Structure 1
Amino acid sequence: MSGLHEAVAEAGWAVRVVDLAGAADKAALMDRCAAALDLPGWFGRNWDALADVLSDPGVWPRAATAGLVVVVTGWSEFGGRCPVEWETAREVFEEAVERRRASDTALTVLLGLS
């Protein structure tokens, strides 16, 4: 995996992993997104704020010159525990990806199977 990670980084993409394993609720999901994505202190920890930061390359890691890959792990477990919150999170991820589709800095969200 390190070879893939290095190749992606060399292409100007930053990779961040949001691990939802053990996350008990929306607040935990927001905290994990904030930590993994190194979001600014003003991040509001609500759905609109998450959509905004995912769609704004200005708050992405500096290494994300070509784009950002967000790998979400533990999502299945989280979805089983918090189905409504997971569905909303999935919609936020999907909408943010769509907003960035036609831009110079793309967003990709991958659901990891680990």
Structure 2
Amino acid sequence: MSAHRFDLDLTQPAQGGVYFVGQDDLDRLAKTARRDALHVCRTDLGGCTDKQELLRRLAVSLTLPASFGFNWDALADALRDLGWLPAWGYVLLFEHADTLRRAAPEDFTTLLGVLDDAATFAADHDIPWFAFLALPDEAFDGS
């Protein structure tokens, strides 16, 4: 991907996790995931500046059940069990993640933890599960 230009095998649960990529990488990742029959979910975080807006956008992009509780615990539970999106693996793509990272760093850090927990849970259950968060190129050069 952009930072180091490596490729993952999205069919391998052991390689699952949370990765930072460049915005231009998302289309390639989506194409690869669809080729491998993985469910792709895209969430645009452009203009997203807080937890409530993040959870609202995720509820829409993930088509979360009406019972979704709009808190971190509910998100963690939902991401561990994506049963309403039947697939053998999942790829979550977050466009413009830098907006949330800059506006609400604590919420961004919490999101990363929730995503990482879901990826670990999925790997433990032999399910491919990846989250890719797009950041601007300057985020990768130590600035």
> Which bin holds the TM-score, normalised by the shorter protein?
0.7 to 0.9
Determine the C-alpha separation between the residues in 2 that align with 1:7 and 1:75.
21
Q: CA deviation at 1:12?
A: 2.4
| Aligned Cα root-mean-square deviation (Å) | 1.9
What SS does the corresponding residue of 1:105 show, helix, strand or coil? coil
Unaligned runs of 5+ in 1: none
Aligned to 2:61: 36
SS at match of 2:119: helix
Quick one: percent identity of the two aligned structures? 32
What's the CA shift for 1:47?
0.4
Distance in 1 between the 2:66 and 2:30 partners?
27
Would you say how many aligned residue pairs link Structure 1 and Structure 2? 111
Alpha-carbon contact 2:98-2:134 (below 8 Å) kept: no
Task: Say if 2:97 is the partner of 1:75.
Answer: yes
Q: Which moved more, 1:5-14 or 1:35-44?
A: 5-14
The structure whose residues are more often helix, as a share, is 1
Q: TM-score, normalised by structure 2?
A: 0.69
Which entry has the higher C-alpha Rg, 1 or 2? Answer: 2
Q: Per-residue CA shift, 1:60-111, capped at 9, x if unaligned? A: x23x2x2010011221111100011111111101111011113243211111
User: SS in structure 2 opposite 1:34?
Assistant: helix
TM-score, structure 1 as length reference? 0.85
Larger RCO (alpha carbons 8 Å, 6+ apart): 2
User: Matched residues in 2 for 1:2 and 1:23: separation?
Assistant: 21
The answer for unaligned runs of 5 or more in structure 2 is: 1-25, 137-143
